[in-house]
Amino acid sequence: MPDASKHDLPPAAGIQPARQRWFLRMLPLRGWLLGLLLALMCADYTFVATAGKFSTLKWRTHTYDLAVEGFRQGHLYLPIQPSPKLLALDDPFDFDNEPLWLWDASLYGGHYYFYWGPVPALCLWAFKFVTGYASVVDDQWLVLFFMIGRLFAGAALIWSIAARLGRSVPAWAVLLAIAMFGLASPTPYFLVRPLIYEASIAAGQCFLFWGLVAALWGLIRRDLQLPLFALASAAWGLALASRGSMILVAPLLVVITWWSALRYPPRMAAGQRGGAVRHALTVLLALGVPLGLCLGAHAWYNYARFDSVTEFGLNYQLTGRQVTYENGFILPNLFSYFGARLRWSCLFPFVDIALKRNLSPLISWPGDYDPGDYENGEHAAGILSATPFVWLIGFWLVRLARRALRERVVPRPDRDRFVNLERWFLLCACALCVTMFPALRMYMATMRYLQDFASAWLLIAMLAGFWLVGTTNHARSRPKVRAGSALFAVLALHTIAVGSLLGFRGQSNNFRRENSELFFDLQDQLSVCQYSERR
């Protein structure tokens, strides 16, 4: 981290230079704990993603590997030819023709395509080209790779922003927040069924958070701002080319970062004219051009396959129920993603997602909404029940109200770079919530879609939690200090425990299906009652 005297404005009253160098003092003392934590979490990810077998799962897909083979043959379609019988039908998309389908592929112009973004396939292509690896790579390993990448990006983001808050945030709270980011629901549940659906989402999340890290470092490092902003923009472009819904978020992040950078433009020489305007345009180009190039490349990719820059392939998908978006599904999905309850048991792993979401009888629900009422259906655990740490957002709202009232009495200008970074972090976290909008209009709720935006709410809660711990640590009353720290720790540990235990379930109880021997051994040894699910 740079010296504040070179790259930051002078600190405001109450923000001492020693406080801004706290990160440098913390790194050698606490860095080894962070390294150990990340190593343990990587091992846990590998354990969960392989159902404790540390090998390829029985239920697997190799969709991106098929896309790579198509690329290597010099075309964008898959190296699998549709059945001539299917192509001869008047309506090949009718479900009665399902035996002839390549499931979830998009059929257009006599060829199969996939609607998922191409970037994970390009990454796999690069890996095979560099290493000469010739065997099939299942999507399971792409999910694991990108989720570990997301974990390290999240750790760097949280560590960096906490360092700017100074000594008011103790090291244990930062490490606990990083553990939450990696283990909170739905991440472990998401990892236990690592198919193509999860691979696209994992890649989008990985590039999204690395973009946020580069943008934050660009706001901190004035001397490296432009290359870091360009790197952030490119990462967000790769995110939207991995996960289509990121197209709603990436432009917002560019605007937020650009606005934050302009809050503290570089000092201009006396009499210099137009310097601020040139700086604003330069920053905008650094943030906008890489993202624009990625967006243009993806538009060309869509047009080359489906003769439309806006067609990703969903309209030509061969699947059980075509993806539709209706406003009537918003209310049940809001309930599902925020309020769906958990089911507790005395049997290990003690917590599971309720088989059917009991929607309120006071509201008329759409008759074609899928409440996840069968074992292999799409299920959801509400954020408020599975991730209770987000309750701390209530403290954040109290903080904002108190600050607004205080500044009405004693107006104060923006204080320093720290306040600007805190605002940037909060606005970016709020922008990530936008990814939930497409999911709210679908006919079902599922944990893999929750993975798209659950982290946003958790990041907002972390900033609130850091404020809570910092505020109570400065309190004169020792019980108040203990209460603030205890509340943070209890909610964080509860969040980590629920998320980790759900990792022994997964979609369709995939952990038990893939490794029933280990699952039932753990159930027999750890359950607090005698009954066993072993069959």
Question: What is the structure's pLDDT at 401?
Answer: 73
Look at the block and give the residue holding tokens 């023709």.
97
* Each residue's pLDDT tens digit, 302-312: 999 999 999 99
CA pair distance 129, 123, nearest whole angstrom: 10
Burial zone of 385 (CB within 10 Å; 0-12 exposed, 13-18 middle, 19+ buried): middle
* Each residue's pLDDT tens digit, 284-323: 999 999 999 999 999 999 999 999 999 999 999 998 877 7
Please give the residue range of the domain that contains residue 505: 4-10+22-58+138-266+276-526
- Which of 106, 131, 156 finishes a domain? 131
CA pair distance 310, 321, nearest whole angstrom: 21
Indicate if 106 and 252 belong to the same structural domain: no
Q: Which residues contact 326 (CB under 8 A, 6 or more apart)?
A: 366, 441, 443
Indicate if 342 and 261 belong to the same structural domain: yes
* Each residue's pLDDT tens digit, 212-240: 999 999 999 888 999 999 999 999 999 99
Count Cα atoms within 13 angstroms, Cβ side, for 282.
12
CA pair distance 268, 264, nearest whole angstrom: 12
Structure-token pair, residue 402: 């108190």
Q: Is the pLDDT of residue 448 over 50?
A: yes
The pTM of the full predicted model, rounded to 2 decimals, is: 0.90
Question: What is the structure's pLDDT at 270?
Answer: 46
- Which of 131, 146, 165 finishes a domain? 131
Q: Which residues pair with 108 in a beta bridge?
A: 111
CA pair distance 369, 385, nearest whole angstrom: 22
CA pair distance 529, 535, nearest whole angstrom: 17
* Each residue's pLDDT tens digit, 25-40: 444 446 788 999 999 9
Residue 236 belongs to some domain of the structure: yes
Indicate if 109 and 146 belong to the same structural domain: no
CB 191 within 8 A of CB 45: yes
CA pair distance 173, 288, nearest whole angstrom: 35
Indicate if 202 and 122 belong to the same structural domain: no
CA pair distance 327, 282, nearest whole angstrom: 40
Look at the block and give the residue holding tokens 């396959």.
305
Residue 206 belongs to some domain of the structure: yes
CA pair distance 222, 380, nearest whole angstrom: 43
Q: Which residues contact 475 (CB under 8 A, 6 or more apart)?
A: 481, 484
- Is 45 or 411 the better-scoring residue by pLDDT? 45
Q: Is the pLDDT of residue 273 over 90?
A: no
Residue 199 belongs to some domain of the structure: yes
Indicate if 362 and 462 belong to the same structural domain: yes
Query: DSSP per residue over 28-78, as a string?
Result: HHHHHHHHHHHHHHHHHHHHHHTTTSSS--SS---HHHHHHHHHHTTSSS-
Residue 533 belongs to some domain of the structure: no
CA pair distance 455, 495, nearest whole angstrom: 12
Query: DSSP per residue over 335-371, as a string?
Result: HHHHHPPEEE-SSTT-EEE-SS----TTS---TT-B-
* Each residue's pLDDT tens digit, 111-131: 999 999 999 999 999 999 999
Look at the block and give the residue holding tokens 């790769």.
238
Residue 15 belongs to some domain of the structure: no
Question: What is the structure's pLDDT at 370?
Answer: 84
Indicate if 89 and 210 belong to the same structural domain: no
Could you count the other beta carbons within 10 Å of the beta carbon of residue 521? Answer: 14
Indicate if 436 and 473 belong to the same structural domain: yes
